[in-house]
A and B are shown apart, each in its own frame.
Chain A
Amino acid sequence: MIVSRNWLQKYFDQPLPSADVVTDAFTFHSFEIEEQDGDRMDVKVLPNRAADCLCHRGIAKDLAAILDLPFKNDPLRTPIQNGDFVSPHLRVEIEDGKKCLRYVGALVKGVKIGPSPMWLREAIEAVGQRSINNIVDATNFVMLNIGQPMHAFDATKLVEKDEAFTIGVRGAKKEEKITTLSGEEFILPEGTLLITDENADIPIGIAGVKGGMHAEITSATTDIVVESANFDCTTIRRAAQALKLPTEASLRFQNRPSPELAAYGMRDVLALIQEIAGGEVIGVIDVYPTRSEKIQEVSVSLAKINGVLGVNFSKEEVADAFRRLDLDTKIDGETFTVTPSFERNDIQIPEDLIEEVGRILGYDRVSIVELPPAAEKPNQARYRGIERVKDFLIDHGFTEISTQSFAKKGDIILANPLDKTKPALRATLSENMKEALERAKYFAPLVLAPNEKPKLFEIGTIFTKDGEKLAVETSEPVPGLPAIQDDENYEPKQYHLGAYKPFSLYPFITRDIALWLPSDADDGLTRSIIRENAGEFLIRLDQFDRFEKEGKTSLAFRLVFQSFDRTLTDDEVNVIMQKITEALTEKKYEVR
């Protein structure tokens, strides 16, 4: 969620501390800050807080708790008329109260559409949104401020019957179509929740996702119907996914904001519209078919908090954390009973309260405690048995590889493969082994001596009709290869690895050289002469032959050349070999 620091500041009298302090406050007590650039911050709101924190009020409220700053003008704490309003001029028909949990609508006449005042344009643009006109901006502002998605329809495009407009909320019929505000036409999956002009039976919006073109606010609009509703999270999530149309509204609805919020949204947006676009509120209707049950209290004891976090918080500290969070708390002895405010619908079990206390007081206060000895002896037999087979193979010259589990063919098929050429789960390791061995043979001069050939193995899971199992694959038969068996007493060999040395992606060139040594030379000296004259492209030097005849010694070496940033040519390697040959000849070597 992109947040403006100036916007947050509106909730505080005292100036907010520096950007670094604010970033640290969020990072260590609530959310990561993905990016911070001047006034703008990208706050990574966690999924459990997306119901109350995808808005400036929610983020500011958490900051107030973290920094213990006085929070002013909380829009969700000021009293509100929160009843079942009806209006003779605006009706709402909800087909399924489990899908539309609440619908607050208002009819406003005589508004003047125009550009937004400067403060509003700046506020909207500061968080990367586009200013459209005063009415649309007002609905977006309220959403960005308190988290309630809103929408405004042009009432003059709707059909009036018996001096009343009727908003319908119903599932889409088979192959019903809608053109959205962006001009895109969608053929809707049956049942997609729609907002309709009930009197004309015309869809005017995809509920909780996007408004329709039919009742778009234009410069000619004078009368509007404003919507502040709450839709079932799953219904909205499925619609946005099916239509591939994730929006600011659908993102919020799928995170289950409280239906209580809808009334606050309507109150704020009507006030703002009248302030910046004039008009008269003709009627407000509030249909609340599944009014939430009373908010459940959650209790937790001081002992439980300290016993889960491994801390020694005092009763006063815990009480203070709840006070900073503005949570209505009763304290009875050492038990805290919290009635969460309606927007904090993430607080449901004692552990949720423990997390609140832990993060506000700080996880840096959790001390490091060693685990007591375990009650039972650890069982690592299966793992050790597998590693024993690996060690056997390594002793026999095999190198372990690891390959991908997806294959061209197999018994079990992926429903949504990433690589369409490999849609199956591997039923064997042998295909990958063949491929890996071919490549290993090609690259062998880079990693193996000339008289060594690559031998590979893989131990990995294969998937067949009979289920999955661990398979052992080797690039050639291995006499005496043991089967995998549990073995608690086997100690797998431990290795020390050096820092990783990247390999070049360019081709390499190999050259062999055989020579008779002068009487005063030996193998080591010969190596150094070759190295000194080979230059930076020599990446490997292996001696692969040595014999003595009539008192003279013959050596043979393989040289591998490769560059990290280009393809070497035969000609340049020939020049290097010529230089080596000349240097050796000068030292009385006889190059054959």
Chain B
Amino acid sequence: MHEGRLHPISVAIREIADIFGRMGFSVVQGPELETEHYNFDALNIPADHPSRDMWDTFWVKTKEGEERKLMRTHTSPMQIRWLEKHGAPTRIIVPGKVFRNEATDMTHEAQFYQLEGLAVDTNITLGHLKGILERFCKEYFGSEAKVRLRPSFFPFTEPSVEVDVWFSAQNKWLEVMGAGMVHPKVLENAGIDATKYQGFAFGLGIERFVMIKYGIPDIRLFHSGDIRFVYGFDEKKI
């Protein structure tokens, strides 16, 4: 009997979980249907704040008096949920589906996978973030990859950075993720003593990583349920 095929998103998550597993990261999951509190408020994104415009949101109909719910717009709510449950120090990655209420095209999908990373300890620095991201990119994309940081803004990190990766084959830098040092308010909202602990967080689009690595032209192929996409790669077990 012939063997089946594993979806490229699963292939990528396995590779990423393996790399981060060797750096001491656990893998955790969280709900896709999320509350306004975890998706926004606890992450220092208040209602009616312009920074909410960074996320086009699918809201879910709720009953009068019930807490507002939405399809999570990012995997970052798990920073709060996990820290509340587990406490610090900790290191996790969170792969999962996220939702954005925006028109789709070759590089935008309303549903896609994100990978959150979080490390909290007494002495974690931006240098450690650069360190793990460079190691991750070298292992995932190849040994010539290197990373650079640029200023950015996210309400739940301070300082915030944009991360570019160098691809020597194409001779260029590509923007691949947002990251930063966890905002002290986020730590406090999760019950962590921000005077004692600090940490970094990052979030990347898994489809984008897979598209760059294998040369996939259109993000809409991933969740189309079309087997021609899954069979579009020579797949070898390692």
Q: Give the B-binding residues of A (Cβ under 8 A).
A: 27-32, 46-50, 233-234, 237-238, 254-255, 307-311, 349, 351-352, 354-355, 358-359, 363-364, 366-371, 373-380, 382-384, 387, 390, 393-406, 412-418, 425, 432, 435-436, 439-440, 443-444, 446-449, 452, 454-458, 460-461, 463, 468, 492-503
Contact = CB atoms under 8 A, between A and B. Distances in A.
Contacts, number: 296
Given A310-B127, A418-B101, A355 B60 contact: no
Contacts of A29: 151
Contacts of B6: 390, 394, 400, 493, 495
Given A32-B162, A308-B125, A310-B125, 15 more contacts: A308-B159, A308-B181, A370-B128, A371-B131, A374-B25, A378-B26, A390-B6, A394-B5, A396-B1, A402-B225, A449-B2, A455-B4, A458-B225, A494-B11, A503-B232
A349 B155 CA distance: 13
B196 interface: no
B64 interface: no
A379 B26 contact: yes
Nearest to A359: B151
A394 B134 CA distance: 33
B128 A310 contact: yes
Contacts of B58: 414-418
Nearest to A423: B61
A374 B124 CA distance: 12
Contacts of A48: 51, 153
9 contacts: A307-B123, A371-B131, A373-B24, A380-B26, A400-B230, A425-B60, A449-B2, A497-B11, A500-B233
A447 B109 CA distance: 25
B43 interface: no
Nearest to B125: A310
Contacts of B5: 394, 399-400
Contact of B130 (A366, A373, A377, A435): A366
A415 B62 CA distance: 9
Nearest to A454: B227
A235 to B, nearest CB: 9
B17 interface: yes
A371 B127 CA distance: 9
B74 interface: no
A443 B227 CA distance: 8
A496 B60 contact: no
A447 B230 CA distance: 10
B51 A47 contact: yes
Q: Which A-B residue pairs are the 10 nearest by beta carbons? A: A310-B127, A374-B24, A310-B125, A498-B234, A355-B159, A436-B225, A369-B127, A46-B153, A363-B149, A447-B231
Contact of A351 (B14, B53, B183, B228): B183
A358 B126 contact: yes
Nearest to B46: A234
Given A310-B127, A412-B33, A503-B232, A363 B151 contact: yes
Contact of B4 (A311, A387, A394, A501): A394
A268 B59 CA distance: 44
A416 B230 contact: no
Tell me which of A355, A371, A399, A503 has the highest count of chain B C-beta atoms within 10 A of its own C-beta.
Answer: A371
B10 interface: yes
A364 B222 CA distance: 35
A22 to B, nearest CB: 15
A352 B181 CA distance: 11
Contacts of B217: 500, 502
A311 B149 CA distance: 14
Contacts of A309: 125-127, 159
